Structure 1
Amino acid sequence: MHIRYLEYLIALDHERHFARAAASCNVSQPTLSAGLVSLEAQLGKRLVERERRFIGFTPEGEAVLPWARQVIAAHSNLVLAAGRANKPLSGEVRIGCIPAAMPVIGYLAQALQAAHVEVTIACHSMTSEAVLRGIRTFELDVGITYVDKAMPPDFRLLGLYRDRFVLLTGATAGLPDGTPVPVRQAIEHRLCLLPQSMQNRRILDDRLAQHGCSAQPVITADSFDALFAIVSGGGYSAFIPESYRSMVPENLRVLPIVPPLASATIGLVLPGDKFPSATAGPILAIGESLALPAQFDPV
């Protein structure tokens, strides 16, 4: 069985279109189609529903997909392990990161590429659920997400830092940068917050509830960049992770909240021993020695 045929199958699952799947594999569409037909012949099962276009996978095709991903990942790790032999990593490292943890990406990337100069990095912003799914399906090499809660045993975890919420507001609020704000005073601001569909917002609501209060936003926006833009326009404030402090524009103020509103522990999530990865060990070593600036509270 050719590994390449399994790659065609995975590409088709990702693209849901024959021509785009072929382009992603750098082959012609007839070559991809012929490879899929050969794979079906070897397995003795029809895997793809097709007419003149891609319709979907048969039940047998759906059943084969996770095993195909596992075979491809094992093959890639085998090649990496054989070629590396205690040498630095090379090639692309795929990182999935929750939006709340994006500020740490640059520090991790710099440390990783300093130790492994031939590495390139592909960073994807995604939900915590998508991060775990990406590692399970071998589409990610490492995730950066919340690591407070219990994880399934097929993941390896390394805490990096503890985050806390701060209040982002404009200069017109009349408070100097760094002025502590009581939590009950903070929620009286005209608030712009993430929607409750995002985990960081749900964590905020939980922390406020522990102090017997709640936030009632007048605007919701689904990214931290949007929160910065809205607060910059004047008249609004937002709760953001303190790790974003270095990214705050000069016209805005970051105010600590008292008592402190702890957010969550952010860390690395990697494949566990059940699915060994040639990249996991080197990335874990980088994480263990990672030096972060003052806005991060190391674990």
Structure 2
Amino acid sequence: MFLKQLQYLREIERYKSFSKAATACGVSQPALSRAIRQLEDELGVVIVDRKKKMFGITDDGGRVLKWAHDILRGVSELRNEVSVAKQAIAGIARIGVIPTAVHIVPLLLDAVQARCGDFASEVHVLPNGAIIEKLASKELDIGIMYYDQCPQAKAFQVRTLYAEQQVLAASSVFQLPEGDDISWEAAARLPLALLTREMRCRQLVDVGFQTVDIEPMIRLETNSLELIHAQVMTGKVATILPISSFPLRVPPPGRLGMRRLPGFSPGAVGVVRLSEQATPEFASDVWDSVMKTSLQGDIDLLCKPATAPGGKA
């Protein structure tokens, strides 16, 4: 039995498809199928039910999967332990984060550094569902995601991290109204680059426009924040995004104007982990550091105008 076979099996369960699992593992589908056949032959059980039209794992396969998860988790923890010992560091923080919260991660890592000293980190940018899957399989220690998308089951511990604030952002090419706010009607008259509709923060934007019964002028839809930021900086489009999706450490006053949208229903970003009696000490320290980090001030700072030398804005 090889670890690769167990990894293949884990991905088959995740994607419910041999072809998608093979792509995720970087191997051909025939190679992956042969590996699973070999595993079944070695164990003397059928793991995947190939007779049904719908993908299915047999009862025996379910038991094998449980052991596969335990073995792979144990191997991952062993590798981390060896790496930690070799590097003489406090531990390795494994974090999953939704794309629109990426820029808060450096602030959280600083908090862990202050508490624990030198450490390493693995940060994965993932959608909500994938974060939950990787928490459940113990591939992640904590997840940062939309609070209302977190499971409220006893298996998970969830805490609110911050209230998301979405803003309209545009380069100086666009003449935005004076003040801190912009109306939905005015926002709808600007060419917009928005995230795709399956993303939670975009759904909140759609609700905002629907509330005032206005159709926005959308010129770009993408799941890439980097592409939206790049297009906004060209001056061809404006955008509506969570303010935390912009770099918190390098606010862009003078380059981007930002205005709040009144009546916006904000999403809440939370931090989530598995509820377990025995949590590794370093993972507990990471959680405690996140819990004690205040992010609201850094987020609010983005909406404030830059202060020029001499104290003038």
Q: Do 1:98 and 1:125's aligned partners in 2 also have CA atoms closer than 8 Å?
A: yes
| Deviation at residue 10 of structure 1 after TM alignment | 3.4
Q: Do 2:164 and 2:269's aligned partners in 1 also have CA atoms closer than 8 Å?
A: yes
TM value normalised by structure 2:
0.70
Summarize the Cα distance change of 1:294–1:62 in structure 2 as closer, same or farther, 3 Å threshold: same
In the aligned structure 2, how far is the partner of 1:166 from the partner of 1:142? 27
Counting aligned pairs with the same residue, the percent is 22
The corresponding residue for 1:163 is 164
Return the letter of the residue paired with 1:203. L
Return the letter of the residue paired with 1:164. Q
Q: Do 1:95 and 1:141's aligned partners in 2 also have CA atoms closer than 8 Å?
A: yes
| Deviation at residue 179 of structure 1 after TM alignment | 4.2
Q: Tell me the secondary structure at the aligned position of residue 217 of structure 1.
A: strand
Alignment of 1:112-123 (within 5 A): 112-123=112-123
Q: Do 2:168 and 2:261's aligned partners in 1 also have CA atoms closer than 8 Å?
A: no
Summarize the Cα distance change of 1:183–1:89 in structure 2 as closer, same or farther, 3 Å threshold: farther
Q: Which moved more, 1:288-297 or 1:138-147?
A: 288-297
In the aligned structure 2, how far is the partner of 1:91 from the partner of 1:132? 22
In the aligned structure 1, how far is the partner of 2:119 from the partner of 2:26? 27
Q: Tell me the secondary structure at the aligned position of residue 263 of structure 1.
A: coil
For the aligned residue pairs, the C-alpha RMSD in angstroms reads: 3.8
The corresponding residue for 1:294 is 297
Q: Which moved more, 1:184-193 or 1:72-81?
A: 72-81
Aligned residues: 267
In the aligned structure 2, how far is the partner of 1:209 from the partner of 1:89? 51
Structure 2 unmatched ranges of 5 or more: 12-20, 28-34, 50-55, 301-313
Q: Do 1:77 and 1:277's aligned partners in 2 also have CA atoms closer than 8 Å?
A: no
The corresponding residue for 1:197 is 198
| Deviation at residue 163 of structure 1 after TM alignment | 0.9
In the aligned structure 2, how far is the partner of 1:176 from the partner of 1:192? 19
Say if 2:257 is the partner of 1:261: no
| Deviation at residue 101 of structure 1 after TM alignment | 0.9
| Deviation at residue 284 of structure 1 after TM alignment | 2.2
Q: Do 2:40 and 2:46's aligned partners in 1 also have CA atoms closer than 8 Å?
A: no
Summarize the Cα distance change of 1:158–1:79 in structure 2 as closer, same or farther, 3 Å threshold: farther
In the aligned structure 2, how far is the partner of 1:148 from the partner of 1:159? 10
In the aligned structure 2, how far is the partner of 1:291 from the partner of 1:232? 29
Say if 2:107 is the partner of 1:107: yes
In the aligned structure 2, how far is the partner of 1:173 from the partner of 1:159? 35
The corresponding residue for 1:10 is 6
| Deviation at residue 288 of structure 1 after TM alignment | 1.8
In the aligned structure 2, how far is the partner of 1:257 from the partner of 1:240? 10
Q: Do 2:89 and 2:120's aligned partners in 1 also have CA atoms closer than 8 Å?
A: no
Q: Tell me the secondary structure at the aligned position of residue 114 of structure 1.
A: helix
| Deviation at residue 191 of structure 1 after TM alignment | 0.8
Summarize the Cα distance change of 1:114–1:251 in structure 2 as closer, same or farther, 3 Å threshold: same
TM value normalised by structure 1:
0.73
| Deviation at residue 289 of structure 1 after TM alignment | 0.9
Q: Do 1:204 and 1:263's aligned partners in 2 also have CA atoms closer than 8 Å?
A: no
The corresponding residue for 2:279 is 277
Alignment of 1:1-299 (within 5 A): 7-13=3-9, 16=22, 41=42, 43-45=43-45, 59=58, 60-61=60-61, 63-73=63-73, 90-149=90-149, 151=151, 152-175=153-176, 179-245=180-246, 246=248, 249=252, 252-273=255-276, 276-278=278-280, 279-292=282-295, 294-296=297-299
Summarize the Cα distance change of 1:178–1:66 in structure 2 as closer, same or farther, 3 Å threshold: farther
Structure 1 unmatched ranges of 5 or more: 22-32, 50-56
| Deviation at residue 118 of structure 1 after TM alignment | 4.2
In the aligned structure 1, how far is the partner of 2:57 from the partner of 2:168? 51
Q: Which moved more, 1:225-234 or 1:57-66?
A: 57-66
| Deviation at residue 253 of structure 1 after TM alignment | 2.1
